[in-house]
Amino acid sequence: MENKELATGNGFLFRFVMQIFHFITFFLKNTKEPFTLQGYFL
């Protein structure tokens, strides 16, 4: 049961982090900054 709950928690955390990542990417594209943070994530 603990393993299942842990996997669910990790899945939620992963989706949460990816949401933030997409928001940052979307924000950077809209602001058209001369630099990007892409190098830090890829």
Task: State residue 9's pLDDT score.
Answer: 78
Q: Higher-confidence residue: 20 or 5?
A: 20
Query: Residue 23 corresponds to which tokens in the numbers above?
Result: 């928001």
41, 21 in Cβ contact below 8 A?
A: yes
Token pair 């058209």 is at which residue? 32
- What value does the mean pLDDT take over residues 21-28? 85
- What are the CA-CA distances from residue 13 to residues 6, 16, 17, 18, 40 (Å)? 10, 5, 6, 9, 20
| 30/27 Cα distance (integer angstroms) | 5
Confidence of residue 26 (pLDDT cuts 50, 70, 90): confident
Give pTM, 2 decimals.
0.46
| 37/22 Cα distance (integer angstroms) | 12
